[in-house]
Amino acid sequence: MRDTAADLGSLLGTPAAGPDQGLFSLAEFTPHQLSRLVARSVELFRDRDAHDRPLRDRVVGVLFTSTSTRTRTALQSGTVRLGGSPIAYGQSDLQLNTGESVTDTGRIFGAMLDLLVARTAGPLDQLRELSRSGHLPVVNAMAAEEHPTQGVCDLAALTLAFGDLSGIRVLYVGEGNNTATALAHGLAMIPQAHITFATPPGYGLPEDALATARKSAEAAGAQISEIHDLTQAPTDADAVYTTRWQTTGTSKPDASWREVFRPFHVDAALLRRYPDAVFLHDLPAHRGDEVAAEVLDGPRSLAWTQAAMKLPSAMAVLEHTIDLPPR
């Protein structure tokens, strides 16, 4: 006699959890995979309809428990444009809010969705658990540790501006946050790239992320360095990048943190040190804090092109993730 309870249980993901699948960290990509994803982003930027609706008949969960304008709009709009049907969840919509476990939630998602896009206030391990317990591809739309979809967007925006990124020199100014981590992992795979992270003392990149990026950089002949004083910045740069000082969903432990960050303000004087450099910002921006208005809105700013790149890069990520081996 068949075990009816076991059969019903299997429909809800009772079998042992599988490996996590999806996009969690750019460090888990090969240089070839990342290069293809970036190239596809640029292709879709130039022609938003250059696809055959690969998400048709697919249902995509879009879970955002913290604020988002660009990433959420890009991934939800991208799902629709690729033929998929999104189901959006907010911070208080799920039983996670009343104490249901991440594992149980993942099992339910896996029974009803084809893909999950998620931004939570928790660690990356929560997204991996949703994937494993639900046998479900998951796109990390930003976790505490890393913002990989932003990293794909940034590399695509730079590729659109420069073409081949081999040997590119990037100066990142500001906190070593999840955007910086993604940028480090992504640029570490670019041959002969040079990236300098100028971060306030005590607000640098996590040591493990920096170590991982430097290991990848060795293989690509790239260089990654971190400084805590802008007077030590390199004399040449092709791009200057900053992010807002108050990262989404975080707070600073030091009440006087603004004084520590003030020397890392990107103004016209800093940009004049790099007369051929473009400026990037992942937005939202606080003019007068991390960047001067004349820089953000100036002729060398790629921030708005970078923002527009969020949609095609999100579409490329969704295409990539839905094409992963079936569950």
Question: The tokens 């969704």 sit on which residue?
Answer: 318
Task: Summarize pLDDT for 146-186 with one digit per residue, the tens.
Answer: 999 999 999 999 999 999 999 999 999 999 999 999 999 99
pLDDT at residue 279 is higher than 80: yes
Q: What is the pLDDT of residue 122?
A: 82
Over residues 75-96, mean pLDDT = 96
Tell the burial category of 26 from Cβ atoms under 10 Å away from its Cβ (0-12, 13-18, 19+). Answer: buried
Q: Answer yes or no: are the C-beta atoms of 319 and 22 closer than 8 Å.
A: no
Of 260 and 15, which is predicted with more confidence? Answer: 260
Helix (H, G, I), strand (E, B) or coil at 35: helix
Closest CA to 228 of 182, 172, 186, 183: 172
When pLDDT is cut at 50, 70 and 90, the band that residue 296 belongs to is very high
When pLDDT is cut at 50, 70 and 90, the band that residue 13 belongs to is very low
Percent of the chain past pLDDT 90, that is, above it, reads: 86
Q: How high does pLDDT run on average in the chain?
A: 92
Alpha carbon dihedral 167, 170, 176, 179, in 10-degree steps, equals -80
What domains are defined for the chain?
Answer: 4-146+310-322 (3.40.50.1370), 150-308 (3.40.50.1370)
The phi, psi pair for 257, rounded to 5°, reads -60, -30
Q: What is the pLDDT of residue 145?
A: 95
Question: Distance from CA of residue 48 to its chain's centroid?
Answer: 20
- The mean-pLDDT minimum among 9-13, 14-18, 306-310 falls in 9-13
When pLDDT is cut at 50, 70 and 90, the band that residue 12 belongs to is very low
User: Could you tell me the pTM of the whole model?
Assistant: 0.93
Measured over the CA atoms of residue 88, residue 90, residue 93 and residue 97, the dihedral's sign is: positive
Helix (H, G, I), strand (E, B) or coil at 196: strand
Over residues 261-278, mean pLDDT = 97
Residue 90 carries which side chain, given as an amino acid letter? G
pLDDT at residue 327 is higher than 80: no
The phi, psi pair for 296, rounded to 5°, reads -60, -40
- Token reading at 318: 């969704």
Over residues 253-275, mean pLDDT = 95
- Token reading at 227: 């400084």
Task: Summarize pLDDT for 35-68 with one digit per residue, the tens.
Answer: 999 999 999 999 999 999 999 999 999 999 999 9
Of 121 and 155, which is predicted with more confidence? Answer: 155
Residues 294-312 as b/e (b if ≥16 CB within 10 A, e otherwise) read ebbeeeebbbeebbbbbbb
When pLDDT is cut at 50, 70 and 90, the band that residue 91 belongs to is confident
The Cα-based distances of 239 to 202, 213, 320 in angstroms read 24, 19, 28
Q: What is the pLDDT of residue 249?
A: 61
Distance, CA of 273 to CA of 285 (rounded, Å): 22
